[in-house]
Structure 1
Amino acid sequence: MSGKATEISELLAPTVEALGLELLGVEYAPHRSGGVLRLYIDAPGRHVGIEDCEAASREVSAVLDVEDPIDSAYTLEVSSPGIDRPLFTPAQFARFAGEQAKVNLRLPVDGRRRLQARIVRVEGDSIVLAPEEGRELVVAHENIEKARLVPDLVALGLAAAPKPSGPKRGKGKVDQES
């Protein structure tokens, strides 16, 4: 998260938690004609519903109106994490160890700024990723610009399992003897 997003997250977390929800993280994208402030919320032990997003939006809007942490116009969006859940903190990476994630880095590591990798473990403020089998890459959390889980659509029942690859069979003619 950017400095402004971190500041806003710290400001709004108690309000979201008072609703029995968890503030996963904040994205802030300023723009001259109006930026976007996006909050990702979770509901421990259940799915986030539209009612949760509406309640969080109402309460958070009141805090933002009073504290006014953003100088320009912006649109507030409150969202569930979805199946391609964003990852904001080392604890969130640790929770999803073993899962695949798409990661964008601020500075290249091993010559790469974008990668898809398995989350291996968290060591302090570093995330250990495995972009390829048998190879690990250690990335400082502050070097991660953006990260999202890559959903396993087959496991979620949203895609068919790949067909096993075996010997290819041609459609040749069969000689017949009379």
Structure 2
Amino acid sequence: MSQTENQPRIIVETGVDLRVAEIIEPVLGTMDYLLVRVRLLNQNGLTLQIMAERSDGTMTVEDCEAISMAISPVLDVDDPIDKAYHLEVSSPGIDRPMVRKSDFSRWQGHLVKFETSILIDNRKRFRGKIVETNDEGFTIERDQVAYGEAPSVTIPFTALSEAKLILTDDLIRDALRADKLAKAQAANQNGDDEE
């Protein structure tokens, strides 16, 4: 079991989104997927967007289909949404939401933008490169420093309300490299299983 698998999300939903997350997260767990985010959106009527991934960060179209087929009946039984909706299952993408402590260590060195629930250094919105992480929080080096602000700031995980990676060439390169490595490791494991 990887460190990510048993790590709870530090940023979670509210309202109906939270109810859906509570219903589907155990199902995803039994299938070895991690829930990233649930959002009920007013697009194409009503769309229930589920973001998930494997513990190694990969996600295929087949994975999305498997999740959709597994959670649809569960959502039909519990029926947390009282209107008709479209179900959309996807990967978190390269410029992904950051929802677990491990996301911050995994993507250390990359740009992130985020909001806090409380004022930190007289602001709630931040943007910068993740330079350090620990169990309590993470430190960023700001890419835009206003007069009188320190060039780096440490954010406790308990203060986060939303966080997302910023798409850069470096992020694309590292994400593609990580995906290629994960696929090679999966192929090696499958080859070992067949012997």
TM-score norm. by structure 1 comes to 0.68
Aligned match of 2:39:
27
Whether 1:16 and 2:28 are equivalent positions in the alignment is: yes
Whether 1:110 and 2:121 are equivalent positions in the alignment is: yes
Larger radius of gyration: 1
Greater shift, 57-66 or 91-100, is seen at: 91-100
Q: Structure 1: where are the runs of 5+ without partners?
A: 159-178
Q: 1:66: how far off?
A: 0.7
Would the aligned equivalents of 1:34 and 1:72 in 2 still touch at CA under 8 Å?
no
How many residues align structurally? Answer: 156
Output the CA distance in 1 between the equivalents of 2:139 and 2:46: 33
TM-score norm. by structure 2 comes to 0.63
Q: 1:84: how far off?
A: 0.7
Q: Structure 2: where are the runs of 5+ without partners?
A: 1-11, 175-195
- RMSD between aligned residues: 3.1
Q: 1:139: how far off?
A: 3.2
Q: 1:79: how far off?
A: 0.8
Q: 1:3: how far off?
A: 2.0
Would the aligned equivalents of 1:101 and 1:149 in 2 still touch at CA under 8 Å?
yes
Aligned match of 1:67:
78
Identity in percent:
28
Give SS of 1:48's match. Answer: coil
Whether 1:128 and 2:116 are equivalent positions in the alignment is: no
1:6 maps to which of 18, 24, 40: 18
Higher strand share: 1
Would the aligned equivalents of 2:94 and 2:172 in 1 still touch at CA under 8 Å?
no
Higher helix share: 2
User: Comparing both chains, which one has the higher relative contact order based on Cα–Cα distances under 8 Å and sequence gaps of 6 or more?
Assistant: 2
Would the aligned equivalents of 1:106 and 1:143 in 2 still touch at CA under 8 Å?
yes
Q: Assess, with a 3 A threshold, how the Cα gap between structure 1 residues 98 and 33 changes in structure 2: closer, same or farther.
A: closer
Output the CA distance in 2 between the equivalents of 1:33 and 1:80: 20
Q: 1:128: how far off?
A: 3.3
Q: 1:150: how far off?
A: 2.0
Whether 1:53 and 2:64 are equivalent positions in the alignment is: yes
